[in-house]
């Protein structure tokens, strides 16, 4: 009878661990991949990046106040060897997106990003923030200048603010990818592609050709690269 109770206890503990893992996936869109090759923390960034303003409840969002402490935990945890960032985002709050990008870029642990679906707007710095980046063949990335939502005063100071914000984004992308400044600025200021906006949409192969992303690939390529980086 005692042996049966021990088995039941182990089964209950295993079920509880599974339940906690599923709760983590639902709440923070993250999960851990544990194998003999190493432990990888998988983080998904989807929808809009939510920053200082709360977006409507029907919007799919990634909240930066959840991601920032999570990344700090990944960096310091002895049980996690590497980080996999999976992106399918339309963009969002610029400063929040840059904050997350800087956190990932500043990590000492191996980090790989994978763009699935789209890595648009502020999703571009997020995609290049990892030490190595992948993009799916069918994925796209939209590059365009910084914009402001809502009402703002049309004075020179506002234009200077926009220019400084744009330069912050530009410098980060140039520092963390192989794209040339002239190419990047030409792409974001392109007037012949988007109907109601300035900018360019890059397919997977084009993003690699310009040096924005390191390689076209999928989930298996990203995970295999991380295992090699862990060694």
122-180 pLDDT tens trace: 999 999 999 999 999 999 999 988 875 544 455 566 667 778 888 999 999 999 999 99
- Within a domain: residue 81? yes
Over residues 195-201, the mean pLDDT reads 82
**CATH value at residue 76:** 3.90.226.10
Contacts of 66 (CB under 8 A, 6+ apart): 28
Tell me the residue range of the domain where 117 lies: 29-230
6-28 mean pLDDT: 50
20 found inside a domain: no
Does residue 19 form part of some domain?
no
Check residue 158 and give its pLDDT.
Answer: 64
For residue 6, tell me if it sits in a domain: no
Residues 172, 178, 182, 183, Cα dihedral to 10°: -110
Q: Give me the torsion for CA of 194, 199, 203, 204, rounded to 10°.
A: -160
The H-or-E segment that residue 43 falls in is strand 38-50
Confidence grade of residue 92 (pLDDT, cut at 50, 70, 90): confident
pLDDT in tens, 105-124: 999 999 999 999 999 999 99
Q: Is 70 exceeded by the pLDDT of residue 29?
A: no
In a domain, 5, yes or no: no
* Confidence tier at 19 by pLDDT (50, 70, 90): low
Q: Does 51 fall in a domain?
A: yes
Q: Answer yes or no: is pLDDT of 52 > 90.
A: no
**Is there a domain that residue 204 lies in?**
yes
List the structure tokens of 127.
Answer: 């995609």
* Mean pLDDT, the chain, whole residue set: 84
**Of 101, 129, 133, 144, catalytic:** 144
Number of domains in the chain: 1
Q: Which of 113, 121, 129, 133 is catalytic?
A: 121
Q: Is 52 a catalytic residue?
A: no
Q: Is residue 199 part of a domain?
A: yes
**Could you give the angle at the alpha carbon of 89 between the alpha carbons of 87 and 91, nearest 5°?**
130
Instruction: Give yes or no: 66 in active site.
Output: no
């Amino acid at each position: 009878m005692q042996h049966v109770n021990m088995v039941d206890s182990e089964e209950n503990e295993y079920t509880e661990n599974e339940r906690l893992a599923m709760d983590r996936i639902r709440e923070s869109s993250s999960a851990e991949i544990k194998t003999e090759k190493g432990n990888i923390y998988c983080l998904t960034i989807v929808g809009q990046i939510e920053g200082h303003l709360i977006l409507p409840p029907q919007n799919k969002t990634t909240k930066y106040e959840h991601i920032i402490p999570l990344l700090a935990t990944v960096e310091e945890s002895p049980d996690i060897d590497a980080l996999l960032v999976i992106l399918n985002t339309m963009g969002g709050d610029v400063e929040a997106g840059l904050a997350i990008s800087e956190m990932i870029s500043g990590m000492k642990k191996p980090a790989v990003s994978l763009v699935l679906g789209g890595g648009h707007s502020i999703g571009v710095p997020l995609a290049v923030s990892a030490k190595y980046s992948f993009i799916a063949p069918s994925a796209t990335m939209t590059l365009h200048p910084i914009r402001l939502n809502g009402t703002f005063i049309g004075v020179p100071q506002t234009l200077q603010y926009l220019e400084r914000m744009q330069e912050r984004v530009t410098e980060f992308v140039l520092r963390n990818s192989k794209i040339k400044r002239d190419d990047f600025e030409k792409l974001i200021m392109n007037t012949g592609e988007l109907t109601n906006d300035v900018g360019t949409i890059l397919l997977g192969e084009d993003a690699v050709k310009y040096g924005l992303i390191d390689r076209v690939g999928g989930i298996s390529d990203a995970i295999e690269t991380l295992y090699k980086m862990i060694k």
